[in-house]
Structure 1
């Protein structure tokens, strides 16, 4: 209440202040649509491989603009939840997140935060023995074949790049044999980051290669025999010895992992 001069009236000894509202963040229409479609995909309403309605139908159903619909689909594509195909049989097709999605996210975190080499190696020492333990418990014949192929590639007289790739393949194969999707994706990113950021030319020589071959074959044999205790023990020793050797020659405290 105000008087004729426009001043605020005093009621019961107090002054009435105008109500103030805080600014509200209104989500973009494309984010709202992307959120709705994402939840439906993750709940399984749209099975993998299902084609979402054509763009013009989404526009009609949602009453949103074509630009909004396209932006929403692009968000889902970046998140790995749909695959956009062009051509007469094109459209947006549902795909479920896989191990590579995890690996990509972890790789971005490692590169973006410039994670220290010591932290990467500590994480590996904590995680890989668990992978070996689960691999010994759940491995299949196909898993053993993948491990044997990687071991043969590691033992071959190839280039340093070939050796490093075979090494990564073996460590990822152990994680795959655990049949734990989170561990598989995580180890894919972790192994690539460690090997990509190590001074391999000055560190890996013939002796290191021979030691790696023996360690990998011993761990593989424990996994083959379903001897979880031996698998854990051997993997723990292997990754610890590697970490100790790397840190002896690694003077950097931060890393920059090159892009794929």
Structure 2
């Protein structure tokens, strides 16, 4: 019979209290000495439990006289980090990443057309400008491409989809940054597709946005897989 570590038990209890709203975002958890007194656990155990919560993104630890463990709510960055770890840890195939994007991103475009703001359009336009730069390097083109796809997801105003798309876009960038299929014609095609999708989002036309995004990500996936027969992502050294 496996007995859980005391630090895991305490971390689980504090996590539930945070998620249940007992400790609002920005407030401090009880000081270490108070938790030691309340739980009758050692200071080392309490510190380990707080460290678990910090790794999970539920608290941030501040040192000094005004320090402590301050509650923060998980956001899209937490989702993106967890999905990125899954992708790299399981060595997810590039084909599977592209399939997932084909399944998710057209719906992101539909939501973006419904919910976009002026600030969202500014982000899309800025990324499109960088993508269309004729003097831009391959690295800058690919990064601008990531920025645009994440901007579409952000414009959906769905935090879960945004987190997923952030992780997927970055993983696809990592897996394709050294490929030679991105020639001048691919760049021109990407510029046209992105502008067309952006205009559908700007016009708040969800049907056009989902249709154009579906065509775009499918064509991109086919272009990538025609020149890439790997079965796993090559994970760069940290």
With the length of structure 1 as denominator, give the TM-score of the two structures: 0.88
Residue number among 47, 65, 69 corresponding to 2:24 in the alignment: 47
Query: Alignment partner of 2:230: what SS?
Result: coil
Change (3 A) 1:204 1:192: same
Larger of the two Rg values belongs to structure: 1
Provide structure 2 residue ranges, at least 5 long, that are not aligned to the other structure: none
Residue 71 of structure 1: aligned partner:
48
Matched, 1:243 2:199: no
Query: Alignment partner of 2:61: what SS?
Result: strand
Q: How does 1:246-257 map to 2 (within 5 A)?
A: 246-257=224-235
Change (3 A) 1:199 1:68: closer
Contact 2:153-2:165 at 8 Å conserved across structures: yes
Structure whose residues are more often helix by fraction: 2
Residue 192 of structure 1: aligned partner:
170
Q: How does 1:61-210 map to 2 (within 5 A)?
A: 61-156=38-133, 157-198=135-176, 200-210=178-188
Spell out, residue by residue over 1:66-117, the C-alpha distance to the aligned partner (whole angstroms, 9 max, x if none): 0110010011011110111112221111111111111111111111111111
Spell out, residue by residue over 1:180-225, the C-alpha distance to the aligned partner (whole angstroms, 9 max, x if none): 1110000000011111101544111221111111110100000011
Contact 2:84-2:167 at 8 Å conserved across structures: yes
Contact 1:38-1:81 at 8 Å conserved across structures: yes
Provide structure 1 residue ranges, at least 5 long, that are not aligned to the other structure: 1-23
Give the distance between the partners of 1:199 and 1:163, measured in 2 at CA: 10
Moved over 2 A (4+): 256-260
With the length of structure 2 as denominator, give the TM-score of the two structures: 0.96
Q: How does 1:17-36 map to 2 (within 5 A)?
A: 24-36=1-13
Contact 2:127-2:144 at 8 Å conserved across structures: yes
Residue 55 of structure 1: how far off its partner (Å): 0.9
| Larger RCO, structures 1/2 (Cα 8 Å, 6+ apart) | 2
Contact 1:41-1:94 at 8 Å conserved across structures: yes
Residue 47 of structure 1: how far off its partner (Å): 1.1
Query: Alignment partner of 1:184: what SS?
Result: helix
Q: Please report the RMSD computed on the Cα atoms of aligned residues, expressed in angstroms.
A: 1.3
Change (3 A) 1:96 1:199: closer
Task: Report how many residues are paired.
Answer: 237
Query: Alignment partner of 2:151: what SS?
Result: helix
